[in-house]
Chains A and B, each alone.
Chain A
């Protein structure tokens, strides 16, 4: 036993005892200060955070504004869509739950896991993270029935944009899709998964179209079930808008464009309102609101006809003979044109060693102003162009609305190109040449325009010279952006020439003559490439699709006070006269309400035309004949 007690009388180390007491005191002080800091100094802040924490808030979705056509027909509405949300905080086993979701909906577990991982950083633990945004009714029923066994899952109803006529108006309406990072940065009110307008009117009028989200507050228990709910803010739907577009006319135009690549603009010449803005091929706006699959996207992107391209405002083409009215206008404006003076057209005109040909091989003979426009004599305009020179032609064209934006309320409009001496030097490093004048005078060469600009110009010809901003909303006020610098008499001369082109037995637009309506028109054929000798030998139908000329037609139609300007373009449509039937159908619809659809046989021909393969010859840029 003695060994047990042999140190019994030793004193414990004094320093050690002091150390222990110091440790107690130190910890006590440290923790007291920290408690004071948390509970007293910042107590209020934390109390506020705690209130926010237990009171969850949730947005109440507001529907986007409805979109109607000019007659009140609904174009874009909102339908309930069911989304599956996962509230992390309430979900005891994420992987197990995701497996179950995969089993219910037939989706891939890895895919779901990927979505979850991608979004989890940006969604609070007690906010629903949207796993699937378009549940079917069956899936909703399945999930709802099993809700209690799978805490953390929640079906959300949110409005989803639905376009009644998906492909008909895609380029006007645009589409909505999930907001990306950049958009969310720009508009802080947007949350992950919110839809925003990405194209068209939906994009341009985003602020008007999007409503204001509501807010509910609720207390939650362990399983995320709501104990009490209170509305903090009622949602407000977006503004409804009415387009100036006439659905019937748009349908008609799209039917005529079917199987073609091209565009049609119908503009009210008094107001600038667009009654139709058709471009083909198109895409379906609805594909975007439910999320485009990568295959769908690839198909759109790789389609050689570029369905996403709005050919009326985003594509630029050489205007061809349609431009002759602009050149004629310039001649009148600069007083360099005597309408009575004639030119002898022999079918060609020499400039140095180069021969410029008229489209009519035998020539038009004695040709005055009216005949030149009605029969589209090239030689007359070669001479006109030489007389005027590039400076006057381009000045007049620009004052007539070409080479600049029309200001239409759609994104990505192109301005086209009106060449000048300076431009050519900058672009090609060489000076303007005589031949360039010739080309410019017949709408070839470097001049590029959009169909919308053409419609705007011809509307100006019949409305007293006003260049109107093209409007897409029915309630928009007419805006005069400029004036064609011509006197009423001079304008009348241009208009008469248009009408004569339809009425005269030798006019190129006879087929658009419409009973009871004053109709005028001008066709145009815009060369895509300078045809090689080999191709020149071929008959029209044998020329490969992509080498065929673009077909233009500009038209005016008036009856009483109602005046319209129409511009139609069919890519590779060969001769402009081809569009006549379509333009006539449009005029009939506008004034009589008659609907004439495109015959199947034409659609068939268009389909076949595109199938003709291209011989392996080098493509050359458009140029002089």
Chain B
């Protein structure tokens, strides 16, 4: 298929640019977090190299995701949904158990996690359903939409993988909010959700309750679970205004900061680049998210809008939860920060989704009426 030159012209270059910039900052930060100061054989340099390779693969996938017409996804939505459900079910029977949870399918050359696919599937199916809704959702329609999410989310939570399961529900939930609900639904939710939240306490595992308790008072267990939070705050706080400088973060370099290349990567960043650097990083993320709002606004057709909104929430929740946790505003949950935290498949998926919204953006002037 010959590529229309106008497609290149309409690509949202700022989004593309900021995504790559964020990735590069992440790699740079990872280099520092890898502990270059440590002696040979002790550093985690392999993480740094791996991340670069995954990033390159991600960017390639991003291009692939740009150059087919996203509107075909609309017809593929339901087949994709059912495929995902089948794969999630398959996990229960032929899944591979790692760290005590059955989450993986062994594909021979790599371990595949269907819950990752579910996150993509949910935003495509969600976009398809919601784009057909002409009115704000009433109870019935809301139940239908969330039912779809509950099938996917429920299967994932059962694995058990509470984090991914809730992510699926939260992405869909975000999209529902974007669509809007009737005032009655809104008011009911406003009353019911705060009442139901405490109930969920009884469904949590002990370690999850522990985390929440620790979050509320990290000093209660300063050497155990509260250690992460305290060390993270020390690392960030000690950065001051200008930071200690690249590779100069003592907390991260001397390994007082745990999980510093994955979940707590931004603490390393905060320590080395200070308030100035972290505010810049925060601004880049805001800009990144804002570009998706722009794409959702300008998209030709509601399906594209919802797709962009879905991707928006995909990133938004991660940024909110990860940063909130690192800053000590939320309990510790293992959610990475897009592009900054180390993680191969996550990086791949991130770039694919950026590709997807770029795809929406570059086709915004096609088929004008």
Which A residues are within 8 Å of any B CB, using their own CB? 4-5, 7-10, 12-13, 15-17, 19-21, 23-24, 27-28, 30-32, 34-36, 38-40, 42-47, 49-51, 53-54, 88-89, 120-121, 123-126, 219-223
Contact = CB atoms under 8 A, between A and B. Distances in A.
Contact-residue size bin, chain B (C-beta under 8 Å from the other chain): 35 or more
Contact of B289 (A15, A24, A34): A24
Interface of B is mostly: helix
B284 to A, nearest CB: 11
B297 A12 contact: yes
A24 B237 contact: no
A575 B329 CA distance: 83
B223 A39 contact: no
Interface string B327-366: 1110000000000000000000000000000000000000
B110 to A, nearest CB: 27
B71 interface: yes
Contacts of A49: 234, 237-238
A6 to B, nearest CB: 9
Interface in B10-63: 35, 37-38, 42
Contacts of A121: 223
A53 B178 contact: no
Contacts of B235: 50
Contacts of B303: 7
B51 to A, nearest CB: 20
A17 B329 contact: no
A16 B179 contact: yes
A221 B254 contact: yes
Contacts of A15: 180
A8 B367 contact: yes
Interface stretch (B114-122, B207-215, B274-282): B274-282
A8 B282 contact: no
Contacts of B72: 4
Given A5-B367, A15-B180, A19-B177, A46 B254 contact: no
B312 interface: yes
7 contacts: A10-B301, A12-B297, A27-B286, A38-B236, A43-B240, A45-B237, A50-B271
B301 A32 contact: no
Contacts of B223: 88, 120-121, 123-125
Interface of A is mostly: helix
Given A7-B132, A17-B293, A21-B290, A222 B35 contact: yes
Interface string B216-254: 000000010001000101111111110000000011001
Given A34-B329, A35-B279, A222 B255 contact: yes
B309 A16 contact: yes
A54 B250 contact: yes
Which 4 A-B residue pairs are closest in the complex by CB-CB distance? A46-B237, A50-B238, A16-B178, A12-B305
A33 to B, nearest CB: 10
B85 interface: no
Most buried by A among B72, B235, B238: B238
Contacts of B279: 32, 35
Given A5-B301, A46-B236, A20 B250 contact: no
A35 B177 CA distance: 28
A43 B241 contact: yes
Contacts of A23: 316
A51 B250 CA distance: 8
B113 interface: no
Most buried by B among A42, A45, A47, A88: A47
A226 to B, nearest CB: 12
B241 to A, nearest CB: 6
A529 to B, nearest CB: 60
A4 B366 CA distance: 13
Given A15-B180, A43-B241, A50 B234 contact: yes
B327 A34 contact: yes
Interface string B276-318: 0011001100100110110011011111010001001000100
Contacts of A36: 275
B227 A125 contact: yes
Nearest to A127: B223
Nearest to A42: B237
A126 B278 CA distance: 29
